[in-house]
Amino acid sequence: MTQPQPAPRRRPRKQIPTPIQLGVRPSVLLVRGLFIRCPACGGRHVFRNWFAMVERCPTCTLKFERVEGHWIGSLGLNSTVIFGAMLVVLLGGSIAFYPDVPLGPLLVAELTLALVGPLVFFPPSRTLWTGIDLLMRPLEPGEIDPRFVVVDPYRDRPAAT
């Protein structure tokens, strides 16, 4: 007498972290992003001008806006970095000149940083955020040119764990 077998369930495909898919260390994605390169392939020319990013990497075809709302993250990153820099200037200036803290120059420095900093850091904030996003959410099959993928979840069997 045979027991009724449960219907075969499709096992969810195991996600492979982006660095393994690309065959690089995780830090490589971040360094590429910091230097305004495509975090996935290191390709250049990802900005048409300082404020206009291309939709896809001209080298590996990665679509930078991976999901709707993707750039909220880069906005948050930009704000965090600039606020951090302002804090460093405030504390550094206060400690260096204590007890005669030059309030005027310090205020000018802080305001300049607050106004100019986010504009200067805009391109790296976008590419760096895309790198962070790629570390948190693995590349989906077909997201980039397969020639850049070393371990493809569909094409290759994942390495034994």
Q: Which residues bind Zn ion (CB under 5 A)?
A: 38, 40-41, 43, 57, 59-60, 62
Let me know how long the chain is.
161
In the bound state with Zn ion, the residue whose beta carbon lies nearer, of 73 and 143, is 143
**Is the distance from CB of 18 to CB of 40 less than 8 angstroms?**
yes
Shortest distance (Å) from residue 38 CB to Zn ion: 3
Shortest distance (Å) from residue 43 CB to Zn ion: 4
Measured in Å, how far apart are the chain's first and last C-alpha atoms? 38
Shortest distance (Å) from residue 46 CB to Zn ion: 7
In the bound state with Zn ion, the residue whose beta carbon lies nearer, of 16 and 149, is 149
Burial status of residue 108 (CB atoms within 10 A of its CB: 0-12, 13-18, 19 or more): exposed
**Is the distance from CB of 21 to CB of 28 less than 8 angstroms?**
no
In the bound state with Zn ion, the residue whose beta carbon lies nearer, of 16 and 134, is 134
